[in-house]
Amino acid sequence: MVLLAGKISVECARGDLEPASAAPSKAAHYDAGDLRLSFRVAVHGIQLAGIEDRQTGISLAREGSPLFSLVLRQAASGKERILASSDGWRKTRLRHRATGLDLSWTEPAEAAFDGLSVTAVADPDANRNAWHWTLRVENRSREWILRSVIFPQIDLADLGESGAVLFPRGPGEVQRGLWGRDFQYHGNYPDGWCSMQFMAAYREANPATGLYLGAHDPWGSTKSLEVKSDPKSRQVRLSLNVPASNLDRVGNGYTSSGEVVWQLLRGDWFDAATVYRSWARRQARWWPRLTREGRADTPAWMRELPAWVMTGGGPGECVPAVKRFRETLGLPVGFHWYNWHQVPFDNDYPHYFPTKTGFADGVAALQSAGVFAMPYINGRLWDSHDRGAEDFEFTRLALPSATKQDDHQPFLESYGSKETNGQPVRLAVMCPTTSLWQKKVREIVLRLLKDEGTRGVYIDQIAAAAPKLCMDTRHNHPAGGGHWWTEGYWELLDGIRRAMPSDCMLTTECNAEPFIRWFDGYLTWHWQHDGQVPAFPAIYGGTIQMFGRAYRGGPTQDLALRMKAGQQWVYGEQIGWFDPALASESSNFEFLKKIIGARWNYRRYFHAGEMARPPRLVGSIPRVKADWQWSGEWWVTTDAVLAGAWGIPSEKRWLLLFANVSDQAVKASVDWNLRAVGLSDSGLRCAVSKDGNPPEEFSPNSRLFGNTLEFQPQSVQVWELRQHSPHE
């Protein structure tokens, strides 16, 4: 069957597929451009038989896992059962219509499941080689509660030695060779270790092909994403699991929030990020309003800030060291101030006041010296014994607004801190939809900004910790899943932003995407994994400032520091989250001054621009390896020379960034597609700055691209490309 523009092509099937027997039908093929889906239909179920790239003939997914699984709980017994798409039905149908596919499952084979039915709709996008899915579960059962919907479940075909899988831990991470080794990733979205709603698998060798799987959910609803390998069967499974709403009710149902998109991917992680970015810009409710200079609602000083330090204590313990760092660096610095309060850390929250003596004076002294003070508070937790070992206000005031489990007991967490009686501190997770918690966080933040004079507040854990499936319906939200968690924080943060001074900002921990519009910065301290790639900056560069890695010790700490700072530089982050004592360590500080100085000199690109595909270095590029000490020994390997690209497309201005983090010179040539960013050879000029020296102008093709260059040890280079018209 020939594919017509905007139409769906079908092989082996016409109209409805309603088999008269339990035997599966011959596979029926349905095409959206070059992306082919195949199904087998039987009375008892419908099975995804495969996904194929028609142009290359390469199989992307094979028959295996059911298309969906419903997790059901019997209200009377508490027992859980699974009802899947591939079996357990008396009636199924796959109907082809001119604009897509309708799939239905009705009349479960077990009488106990009477009243359950499922419909799925798949709409093709031939121009993008994509299928857009929605799914609906009707539950008229009198005894079963729908707990979650696992959809889709795709068993990836082995893509060979060059096969790679992208998933959304931190900034994004790529793992290779998963078909031959044990691997599992489980991410609870939205949190810092599952920051976005898409995954991808692709071949890095020719012919290039792969599959993008994205949940295009504009509300950022609670869900989990999973990658799981089975080397015995050479299988890698991608799946999405969405908790249902109204988990307190028999007969609850489910309707997709947004769409699930399967799209042919002839590229790599950057191309997958570009697909997601295109959707997020148009539909994600957290995409901020941008101007020519980026976020107008973020103060200019925050957009431009090049570096951060982090320490804590009373003013006498930290202010002098922070001021020395600022003076030695000679540039503005942000200061993340911990333990400014009299209560211990992770204890007696949220009773932060009174402050330690002289806190407001210390803030003023720092800010007069060019340091922007940002104190720490927690945005999720209330200590269940909130005055030493005493239950002061928790039960009387906070407990009704805490998140609740199935047994209506509060969700409690511990982080190693101790009460005065030696018992672990148990902190209750507060529900963001409740007026008590919204008012409490707003009161703390505004007191710091207005009374203590800080220029920002760090509200911990909001973009780091996954939602709790709160069962307390007195909070005016449905029990369990949905998008009420994100909406609750949006309302909380809206209240703060309306009342806060105009030249102030808010940040939070980690980088879960649904809160971008309400924060000015994300603390990306957890971007510490081997194999990570800057997918998050590729999508959200210019929408929020990212800052902070955990810089730690060990025998390889100097190399680890350069690797982290170099990666921050090319990822577009504000550099640091250092201990201010680092200023006295000259061996490290000289390299940091180059990085931070370059970040400052070209700062506009990182708040008014966007990330482009990083340049590729051609040649024998050494690899470096260091213990990043994220959790015990934590070995990370990167290229010796790290590279990135940022630009302002409307002005035809682009930066190529390079940092040799090793102790050896590296020879390589640079490959970068000028046309992909709208540049051409004609009228192109390039100004090259090395290690902070004044830039030297070149004609790029004669001196830079394609020629072997030498990157000196511990060096930093910036190439600024500008397209000039013939009349300039």
Q: Which of 230, 263, 283 is the last residue of a domain?
A: 283
Burial of 722 (0-12, 13-18, 19+ CB in 10 A): middle
279-298 pLDDT, tens digit each: 999 999 999 999 999 999 99
Residue 3 has pLDDT above 90, yes or no: no
Structural domain includes residue 153? yes
Average per-residue pLDDT for the chain: 94
The pLDDT score that the predictor gives to residue 585 is: 75
Average of pLDDT values for 7-35? 64
On the question of pLDDT at 727 being above 90, the answer is no
- Residue from 603, 637, 600, 638 nearest 617 by CA: 638
Q: Is residue 476 part of a domain?
A: no
Which one, of 531, 573, 530, lies nearest residue 548 by Cα? 573
Most confident of 402-406, 585-589, 701-705: 402-406
Give the pLDDT confidence score for residue 30 in this predicted structure: 97
Best CA proximity match to 458, nearest among 505, 525, 512? 505
Query: Is a pLDDT exceeding 60 seen at residue 18?
Result: no
Residue 17 tokens, joined: 């597929």
Q: Which of 260, 283, 306 is the last residue of a domain?
A: 283
Give the DSSP letter of residue 80. E
Higher pLDDT, 342 or 683: 342
What are phi and psi for residue 656, nearest 5 degrees?
A: -110, 130
pLDDT tens profile 546-592: 999 999 999 999 999 999 999 999 999 999 999 999 877 777 899 99
Per DSSP bridges, beta strands 381-383 and 412-413 are unpaired
Q: Which residue, 283, 318, 333, sits at the end of a domain?
A: 283
By C-alpha distance, which of 439, 437, 442, 417 is closest to 427? Answer: 417
Give the model's pLDDT for residue 701: 63
Cα(118)–Cα(476) distance, rounded to whole angstroms? 28
Residue 189: alpha-carbon gap to chain centroid:
9
DSSP state of 705: B
Q: Are strands 456-460 and 505-509 parallel, antiparallel or unpaired?
A: parallel
pLDDT value of position 700? 67
Instruction: Specify the number of domains making up the chain.
Output: 2
In a domain, residue 16? The reply is yes
The one-letter code for the residue type at 700 is P
Ramachandran region, residue 440 (left: φ > 0; alpha: ψ -120 to 50; beta: rest): alpha
User: Distance between CA atoms of 168 and 212, rounded to whole angstroms?
Assistant: 13
Rounded mean pLDDT of 689-716? 88
Give the Cα separation of 556 and 638 in Å (integer): 14
Q: Tell me which amino acid residue 663 is.
A: D
Whole-number CA gyration radius for the chain: 27
The encoded tokens of residue 435 equal 């007026």
How would residue 420 be classed by pLDDT, with cut points 50, 70 and 90? very high
Percent of the chain with pLDDT over 70: 95
Q: What is the CATH number of the domain that holds 27?
A: 2.70.98.60
Structure tokens at 297: 């609602």
DSSP code per residue over 411-476: PEE--S-B-TTSPBP-EEEBPTTSHHHHHHHHHHHHIIIIIS--SEEEEETTTTSPPP----GGGS
Q: Which pLDDT value is given to residue 11? A: 33
Lowest mean pLDDT among 4-8, 233-237, 560-564: 4-8
151, 68 Cβ separation under 8 angstroms = yes
State pLDDT tens for residues 463-493: 999 999 999 999 999 999 999 999 999 999 9
What are 689's two structure tokens? 């700055």
The pLDDT of 141-152, averaged and rounded, is 97
Q: Give the whole-angstrom CA distance, residue 363 versus residue 270.
A: 41
Residue 2, pLDDT > 90, answer no
Q: What are the CA-CA distances from residue 258 to residues 261, 413, 416 (Å)?
A: 10, 32, 39
287 alpha carbon, distance to own chain's centre: 14
* Helix (H/G/I), strand (E/B), else coil: 232: coil
What is the phi-psi region of residue 133: left when phi exceeds 0, alpha when psi lies from -120 to 50, beta otherwise?
beta
Cis peptide bond N-terminal to 152, omega within 30: yes
- Do the beta carbons of residue 441 and residue 432 sit within 8 Å? no
What pLDDT, on the 0 to 100 scale, is given for residue 379?
98
CA gap 719, 672 in Å, rounded: 12
Give the C-alpha distances (Å, rounded to integers) separating 542 from 456, 511, 536, 608, 648.
Answer: 19, 14, 11, 6, 10
- 215-237 mean pLDDT: 97
Q: How confident is the model at residue 24 (pLDDT cuts 50, 70, 90)?
A: low
Burial class (CB in 10 A: 0-12, 13-18, 19+), 726: exposed
What pLDDT digit, counting tens, does each position of 422-431 carry? 999 999 999 9
Polymer length in residues for the chain:
728
Q: Which domain holds residue 693?
A: 611-723
Quick check: is 132 in a domain?
Answer: yes
Flag whether 159 is in a domain: yes
* 298 DSSP assignment: S
Q: What's 685's domain CATH number?
A: 2.60.40.1180
For 631, residues 6+ apart whose C-beta sits below 8 A from its C-beta are none
* Region of residue 408 (left: phi > 0; alpha: psi -120 to 50; beta: else): left
* pLDDT on residue 20: 47
Asked if residue 636 is part of any domain, the answer here is: yes
User: Of the ranges 1-15, 209-223, 541-555, which one carries the lowest mean pLDDT score?
Assistant: 1-15
Q: Does 335 fall in a domain?
A: no
Per-position b or e across 654-678, b if 16+ CB within 10 A of its CB: bbbbbbbbbeeebebebebebeebe
How confident is the model over 630-679, as pLDDT tens digits? Answer: 999 999 999 999 999 999 999 999 999 999 999 999 999 999 999 999 99
CA distance 471 to 408: 7
Res. 13: pLDDT tops 90? no
Instruction: Judge whether 300 lies within some domain.
Output: no
